[in-house]
Amino acid sequence: MNFEQNFTQLQKQQQQLTMTPQLQQSIQMLQYNRKDLVDFLKQKSLENPFISISVKSTTKSQGTSTQKYNSNQSHLNQTTTGSIWDTLATSSTTSLYAALLEQIYLSFRDTALRDLVIWLAQYIDNNGYLTLSLDEAIKLTQAEPFQLLDALTLLQQLEPAGVGARNLQECLMLQTERNNQAPNLAYLILEEEFEAFANRKWEHIAKRYAISLSDVQEVSDFVKTLTPHPGAIFSSTPTQYIRPDLSVKIDDEGQIVVRSVKSGLPVIVFQKEYYEELTAIKDKEVSTFIHDKQSEYEWLKKSLMHREESILRIGIAIVNAQKEFFLSEDHPIQSLTLKKIADELDIHESTVSRAVNGKYLTTEFGIFELKHFFTNALVTSSEEGEGSISSNQIKKKIQLIIQNEDTKKPLSDQKLVDLLKKGGIEISRRTVTKYREALFIPSSPKRKRFD
Strands (DSSP E) found in 169-307: 240-242, 246-250, 256-260, 266-270
**pLDDT value at residue 274:** 85
For residue 20, name the pLDDT band (cuts at 50, 70, 90).
low
Give 412-434 pLDDT, tens digit per residue: 999 999 999 888 888 888 988 98
Beta bridge partners of 387: 380
Question: In terms of C-beta density within 10 A (0-12 exposed, 13-18 middle, 19 or more buried), how is residue 398 classed?
Answer: buried
What is residue 118's three-state secondary structure?
helix
**pLDDT value at residue 151:** 94
**pLDDT value at residue 358:** 87
**pLDDT value at residue 262:** 84
User: What is the pLDDT averaged over residues 269-282?
Assistant: 85
**pLDDT value at residue 235:** 61
Q: Which amino acid is at 259?
A: R
In sequence order, the 6+-apart residues with CB closer than 8 A to the CB of 31 are 354, 357, 358
What are φ and ψ of residue 196, in 5° steps? -65, -40
What are φ and ψ of residue 389, in 5° steps? -145, 145
Judge whether residue 14 has pLDDT over 50: no
Give 227-264 pLDDT, tens digit per residue: 999 998 886 555 556 788 899 998 888 889 998 988 77
Bond prior to 49 in cis (omega within 30° of 0): no
What is residue 9's three-state secondary structure?
helix
User: What is the pLDDT averaged over residues 299-308?
Assistant: 90
What are φ and ψ of residue 388, in 5° steps? -140, 150
User: What is the pLDDT averaged over residues 121-130?
Assistant: 92
User: What is the pLDDT averaged over residues 277-290?
Assistant: 86
Q: Using an 8 Å Cβ cutoff, are 236 and 95 in contact?
A: yes
Full DSSP string of 305-364: HHHHHHHHHHHHHHHHHTHHHHHSTT-PPPPB-HHHHHHHHTS-HHHHHHHHTT-EEEET
**pLDDT value at residue 130:** 95
Judge whether residue 288 has pLDDT over 60: yes
Judge whether residue 192 has pLDDT over 90: yes
Which residue ranges form the domains of the chain, and what is each CATH number?
96-234 (no CATH), 246-373 (no CATH), 391-446 (1.10.10.60)
pLDDT above 70 as % of the chain: 81
User: In whole angstroms, how far apart are CA 8 and each of 27, 73, 347?
Assistant: 11, 30, 7
Residue 41 CA to residue 29 CA, distance in Å, equals 9
Residue 190's Cα: distance from chain center in Å?
34
Residue 38's Cα: distance from chain center in Å?
21
Judge whether residue 64 has pLDDT over 50: no
Average pLDDT value over all residues in the chain: 81
Of 15-24, 54-63, 172-181, give the lowest mean pLDDT range: 54-63
Residue 341 CA to residue 335 CA, distance in Å, equals 12
Helix axes 96-107, 112-121, angle to 10 degrees: 170
The neighbour count for residue 115, using CB atoms within 10 Å, is 15
Judge whether residue 72 has pLDDT over 60: no
Q: Using an 8 Å Cβ cutoff, are 289 and 365 in contact?
A: no
Residue 32 CA to residue 211 CA, distance in Å, equals 60
User: What is the pLDDT averaged over residues 115-144?
Assistant: 91
Residue 167 CA to residue 190 CA, distance in Å, equals 12
**pLDDT value at residue 375:** 74
Residue 229 CA to residue 167 CA, distance in Å, equals 10
**pLDDT value at residue 82:** 33
pTM of the model: 0.53
